[in-house]
C-alpha cells in the first residue's frame, strides 16, 4: 500500500519489489532528478522501520498504511532543509505532492475498521 500510494503520485500502478527496481522506477518517472531518488527511498524505509519498531517494542499498531506515507512526508520535509537549496525545494515539492495525494487516497478508502483488540481489521 505504501509503494502503491507513491506510485499513484507518479501516475503508475506498478510497484518496485527490489531496490534496483525502485531506481529504475524513479528514473522512468522522474528522469533527471537522480539526486533525490535516495532521499525518497530513505524516507520511506525509515518510516516503515519506525512503524515496525513501534509495533514490535511499544505494541502500537498502525491504523492505516497511509500513516507510513505521512511519516515519510515528514522526514522529507525535515531533510529538505539539509539539502542544497535547489534540491531542497524539489524534495519539499515532492513531499507536498505525496501528502496531498495520500490525503485524497485516504478519503477515498475511508477510515479503517477496528477489530475487538483495537487493531485495524484490514
Per-residue pLDDT of the chain (122 residues; tens, 9 = 90+): 788 888 888 888 888 989 999 999 999 988 988 889 999 999 999 999 999 999 999 999 988 889 999 999 999 999 999 999 999 999 999 999 999 988 988 888 876 666 666 565 55
The answer to whether residue 59 sits within a structural domain is yes
The pTM (predicted TM-score) of the whole model is 0.83
Q: Is there a contact between 62 and 68 (Cβ–Cβ < 8 Å)?
A: yes
The answer to whether residue 120 sits within a structural domain is no
The answer to whether residue 19 sits within a structural domain is yes
> For residues 51 and 65, what is the distance between their CA atoms, to the nearest angstrom?
9
pLDDT of residue 35: 87
pLDDT of residue 51: 95
The answer to whether residue 50 sits within a structural domain is yes
Domain count of the chain? 1
Residue 99 is part of which domain span?
2-109
Amino acid at each position: 500500500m505504501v509503494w502503491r500510494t507513491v506510485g499513484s503520485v507518479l501516475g503508475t500502478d506498478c510497484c518496485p519489489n527490489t531496490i534496483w527496481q525502485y531506481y529504475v522506477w524513479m528514473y522512468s518517472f522522474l528522469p533527471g532528478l537522480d539526486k533525490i531518488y535516495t532521499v525518497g527511498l530513505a524516507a520511506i524505509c525509515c518510516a516503515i522501520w519506525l512503524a515496525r519498531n513501534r509495533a514490535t517494542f511499544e505494541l502500537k499498531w498502525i491504523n492505516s498504511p497511509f500513516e507510513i506515507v505521512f511519516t515519510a512526508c515528514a522526514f522529507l520535509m525535515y531533510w529538505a532543509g539539509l539539502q542544497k537549496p535547489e534540491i531542497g525545494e524539489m524534495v519539499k515539492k515532492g513531499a507536498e505532492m505525496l501528502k496531498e495525494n495520500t490525503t485524497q487516497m485516504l478519503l477515498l478508502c475511508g477510515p479503517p475498521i477496528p477489530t475487538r483488540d483495537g487493531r485495524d481489521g484490514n
